[in-house]
Chains A and B, each alone.
Chain A
Amino acid sequence: MHFPTKTKKLGLLVGALLLVLPSVLFLLPSKSDAAALTNTYLRPYRLKAAQTAKMRLVFRTTTNAGATGVTVDMDGADSSGKWSASSGSVHAGAMTTDVATCAAELSVTGLPGSLTVTGAASHTITITGVTALSASTTYCVDFTNTDAVTNPTSTGGPSTNGEYHPTIVETGGATDSTTVAVRIIAEDSVVVTATVAPSFNFQFNNTTTDAFGNLSTGGSSTTGKTITLTTNATGGWIVWAKSANGVSKGSLTSVTTSHPITSSSSIGSAAHTLGTNTEDYGLAVTINTNVNNGTLSLDSAYNGAANGVGVLDSQNFRPIASATGTTTGDIINVLERAAINGATPAANDYTDTITFIGAGNF
């Protein structure tokens, strides 16, 4: 069969086209289908209905790279009862952002580029100026206006469970998107209360007695004990002491001899020093540790500094030390001093019982 030359040429042309075209098509960059962003969430800083707040966006790109913008639509996938219809909104106009904080907190990549962010139409946030995003990378951005979003007033929302469905859509070189859930609730905070009551602690290791050993005409002192006071009450603390022996003045008494060793000074008089060969007995108080936030003072009648000693009272409790203000542990030393004369009857059972009472002041 003989074909005309023109027909042959036409056939060759079509054949060539059929051969070349698939190759050309193969070489042309293929347009990928839009995929779903993964690991994506929108987190308003407050979830309480009608509350204004900042907001954080986190999303992970798919294998499609190259997006140069992101759009957040708070109305998103909802057709009724949506964000803007329930009095929810976004900041109108230019918005501020921060990428460093979320990137550091989440160990992801802050959204790169010179971001321009605009809120519009009460439900759309548009981000442009993004440096082409990489594939399979998690990005974040914080919208830092204090009213970046205003939550809807309704905790019902489109599906009566308070859940709204904004969408996140890439723009530019990729167009992947996803729909997220944001739940709005009636109250997102809990009020916590606590009370610290005023208290006073009195610590005194009195498990053993305090002994003089042999008394002398030159005077002796016991080793003494410590009393620790702690309080958070601003009124401070006070300690009193009282002797159990003696008619009025505290005394060392002996069952064997019935002789009281007591002081010739008056109760309440300023602390004095022991004389030589003169019977005397009393209490001496000194400051061991002062951590007081106010003022710690010793009663002048019992200030044991410079070997002072004060006359104990056997009928009444007498203040021996006090402090204003709080303290984490003031410590006072309490000890007794005594002296005898050459005629003091010998006995090995001279003793006294001293009661100390501590209290927070009024």
Chain B
Amino acid sequence: MGLIKRVLIAVCLPVLYLGMSQSALAATPPSGINLTTSPLPVNISANPGQTVTTDLRIQNASNQTQRIKVSLMKFTAYGETGKPALQNRQAGDDYFDWVSFSPSVFDAPPNQWMTVKMTIAVPKSAAFGYYYAVVFSPADQKPAGKGNVYLGSTAILVLLDVKSPNAKRSAKIVDFSVDKKIYEFLPVTFKTRVHNDGNVHLLPTGSIYIKRGSKQVAVVPFNLGRGSILPNSYRVYTSSWNDGFPVYASKMSDGKIVVDSEGNTVTQLKWDFTKMPKLKIGHYTANLLAVYDNGTRDVPMEATVGFWVIPWRILAFIVLLGGLALFGLWSITRGILRNARKPKK
């Protein structure tokens, strides 16, 4: 083989290989946004004049390296269900200036956890609660094609409590109710409306003690999700008592909850006969005992609601069976007596 041919082969082969490699890489389609964040939410306490830091972790779970940028928003209470309202910075939101991120822009390789240090330099004049949303967005989202463009981001909610002697930590139960007064079967859903009339967010916790007469029959956790309630807002907490027989439960299909055409969960009655002793019947009283930390001690909040559980279909069935049995017994007895009274020939 001539020298020139050898040189050409020596040069072209690597180039071809690189080209094929690039093609192989490019053949993997981008998977869009796939971001995992931790922890959540973040609760920070600080004294006025103190600088605090917290580590926020993010993982790019997609199949390609993504350039991520970090930005800051805020959140407030939205309605009473505990949903936060996400908002951009507005005039007067100087507390945004206290915050810095390191790094604020970075490349996130696939499936690697990256740590972003959030530093909050709390000024001496700060007091009470500040509520941030740290937003992680791919820096170069450019969906291909013509039409509506979708952008996506994920956020970590950060609740900052700046300790102040003027902090007012105060909450009360405004309403404790059930969704019905008479149930045929469980679950019984309790709704607790709490008002935070202080100037700092609070985390109420507790239990609902259910009694039948004087006997306690169940304990249901209150605020199992450990959701905080923002200052000057209301939040409704929902708890459910579902340890009964039979019990309405979400209908499942292939491991997924079935929903109707309106998007509502479809429920069905579950008959687990191992739980027959848990048939509920009668009048019940639910006593809620919750507490929140007012900075020096736990402050209790109490409320009570009553309801009935009457499994009328089961009762009707038992009465019907009993009636049939009694009728049968009466018929037999009457027959015996008639035969006894007949004169013997």
Contacts and interface: CB of A to CB of B under 8 A. Distances in A.
Interface of A: 197-212, 222, 225, 227, 231, 233-236, 238, 240, 252, 286-287, 289-292, 294-296, 298, 303, 305-306, 316-317, 319, 322, 324-325, 334, 336, 351-362
B259 A287 contact: yes
B297 interface: no
B78 interface: yes
Given A295-B265, A319-B83, A324-B238, A204 B225 contact: no
B102 to A, nearest CB: 20
Contacts of B146: 209, 211, 351
Given A235-B41, A317-B86, A361-B83, A354 B255 contact: no
B38 interface: yes
A360 B41 contact: yes
B33 A200 contact: no
Contacts of B40: 198-200, 231, 233, 235, 359-360, 362
Contact of B261 (A292, A296, A306): A306
A208 B145 CA distance: 6
Interface of B: 29-41, 57, 61, 78, 81-88, 133, 135, 141, 143-157, 159, 224-228, 238, 255-257, 259, 261-263, 265
A317 B37 CA distance: 20
A354 to B, nearest CB: 6
Contacts of B85: 316-317, 319
A201 B36 contact: yes
The interface residues of chain B, by DSSP majority, are classed as strand
Contacts of A286: 263
A306 B262 contact: yes
B154 A357 contact: yes
A206 B33 contact: yes
B39 A197 contact: yes
A296 B151 CA distance: 23
Given A202-B36, A317-B87, A359-B156, 5 more contacts: A199-B36, A199-B39, A206-B141, A235-B40, A240-B86
Nearest to B229: A362
A292 B263 CA distance: 14
CB-CB nearest 6 A-B residue pairs: A211-B147, A360-B40, A205-B32, A209-B147, A290-B257, A362-B41
Contacts of B82: 361-362
Contacts of B155: 357-359
Contacts of B30: 207
B104 to A, nearest CB: 18
B157 A362 contact: yes
Contacts of B159: 362
Contacts of A197: 38-39, 57
A319 B78 contact: yes
A360 B37 contact: yes
9 contacts: A199-B36, A201-B35, A202-B154, A207-B29, A234-B225, A291-B257, A317-B85, A317-B87, A362-B228
A210 B157 contact: no
A43 B319 CA distance: 65
Contacts of B31: 205, 207
B240 to A, nearest CB: 9
A298 B44 CA distance: 31
Contacts of A236: 225
B153 A356 contact: yes
Contacts of A235: 40-41, 225-227
